Amino acid sequence: MLALVTGAAKGIGRAIALELGKNNFDVAINFNHSEEAAQKLCEEIKTFGVKCEIFQADVSDKDQAAKLFADVKSVMGETVSVLVNNAGITRDTLLMRMKPEDWLTVINTNLNATFFCTREAIRDMAKARYGRIINIASIVGLIGNTGQANYSASKAGIIGFTKSVAREYAERGITANAIAPGFIDTDMTEKLKPEIKEGILKSIPAGKIGSPQDVAKAVLFFASESSSYITGQTLAVDGGMTMV
C-alpha cells in the first residue's frame, strides 16, 4: 500500500514517512527544496524493505500538485492509498502588520495545497473504494493564536475541509481525518523566541514539548485498519494543551 507524504524532507513529515515505512507502507516522499535530505531519508526507508522514491513539487501550485500524482503513479506503479497533507509554513506577525502576501502565501501553502493534493488523490481512492486522507492541521486552528491570524485561518480551513471530504467519501471506504499537533520540536518552533517558548511550555499539562514521532504515531493510526470506522475527526496531539 502506497503512502504519499507532502513536505516530508524534515521535521514532522520526515517522522511520518519513517513511521509509515517502518510499518510496511511503500512511501512517496514529496519535497520542495531539500533534495539531499529527502534522498537520505529515502535510503533509510528502503532499509525497511519497502519501496521509496522522492518527488520534487511545490504543492501550493495546482499544476505541480497534479504532476506530482502523475509522477508518483508512473514511477511507483501504484496509486496513492494514504495521503498525508503535511507541508506547511508560518509567516507570523500581528494582524496590523500582516501583508496580503503573508496571508496569501500561508493560505496557499497550508490550505490550497491540501485541496489540490486531496483532489488529485481522491479519484483513484474512489475507484479503489479505499483511501486514507490525513491532514496535518494545528491546535491554533481550533483555538487561535496571537500573531498567527493567517496560519490559524489556514488550519481551521483544513479542519472544515477534512469534515466535508469525510462526509462526501465515507460510503466509498475513504476516511479523512485531521491531526492537530500542539508544540512540536521542529525547525518551525525552533524559530520562536526563548521567552515565548517558556510561556508555551507552562501551558502544556504534560510539561514537555512534543516530538515529531508523537505526531507520526497518530498518523499511523489513521493510516491503518484500526481506524476504519473513524472519519471527519480532529485529533489533538498536544500533551493536553487544548482539550476542546
Residues in touch with ligand NAI (CB under 6 A) = 6-7, 9-13, 30, 32-34, 58-60, 86-89, 109, 113, 136, 138, 181, 183-184, 186-189
| Minimum separation from the CB atom of position 39 to ligand NAI (A) | 13
Contact assessment for residue 107 and residue 150, using Cβ atoms and an 8 Å cutoff:
yes
152 versus 231: smaller Cβ distance to ligand NAI: 152
The kind and range of the H/E element at 122 are helix 113-128
User: Each residue of 198-215: b (16+ CB within 10 Å) or e?
Assistant: eebeeebeeeebbebebb
Min. distance of Cβ 102 from ligand NAI in angstroms? 14
CB of 109 to ligand NAI, least distance (A): 5
Task: For ligand NAI, give the closer residue by CB, 9 or 125.
Answer: 9
What's the closest the beta carbon of residue 100 comes to ligand NAI, in angstroms?
A: 18
CB 135 within 8 A of CB 162: yes
Between CA 162 and CA 16 the distance in angstroms is 19
- Between 33 and 217, whose beta carbon lies closer to ligand NAI? 33
Residue type, 10: K
Q: Is 151 a catalytic residue?
A: yes
Nearer to ligand NAI, 59 or 76 (CB): 59
Sign of the alpha-carbon dihedral angle for 135, 199, 187, 184: negative
What positions carry a catalytic annotation? 151
